[in-house]
Amino acid sequence: MRHVLTIGFAVALAACGGKSKGSEQPTGPDKPLFERLGGQPAINAVVHEFVATTGADPRINMFFTNVDIPKLEKAMDDHICSITGGGCTYAGKSMLDAHTNMKVLQKDFDAFMDDLEKTLTKLNVPAREKGEVLGAFRGMAADVVGH
């Protein structure tokens, strides 16, 4: 009886060892933000919902009249891919060039960020990734506001 238990324990240990090695594969917490968000399809879904949200927000939707929305979405898809470690090449304008002469005020930027936060929540982006996306956008404020 004791012998059987010993063998059982050894098998359990071996299974455990295999598992812990597996958890070092790219499902770990230190994968690039791009992958933790769910890759390009998830980013495209966030961008699509976000653009619809800003377009329906009377605080800032006047900025988006006369804008080619599919083109804007594609640029945002690529831009977010590139800044989150997805390895895309973003061929669009710099954030400063894209927003120069737009006269975005701080209050406009705040509304934009509020819409982004709501979108990430609506699409169930987890807290850590949500914080990182919001932080990345906040870090670009100086290129967007006041030009």
Asked if 43 is part of the footprint of ligand HEM (rule: CB under 6 A), the reply reads: no
Q: Which residues contact 42 (CB under 8 A, 6 or more apart)?
A: 123
Min separation Cβ 54 and ligand HEM, Å: 7
Nearer to ligand HEM, 104 or 123 (CB): 104
Nearer to ligand HEM, 20 or 65 (CB): 65
Specify the DSSP element, H or E, that contains 22.
helix 2-22
User: 92 with 78: CB under 8 angstroms?
Assistant: yes
Q: Which residue has the tokens 């653009």?
A: 51
Which residues would be at the binding site for ligand HEM (CB under 6 A)? 60, 63-64, 67, 72, 75-76, 79, 92-93, 95, 98-99, 104, 108-109, 112, 137, 140, 144
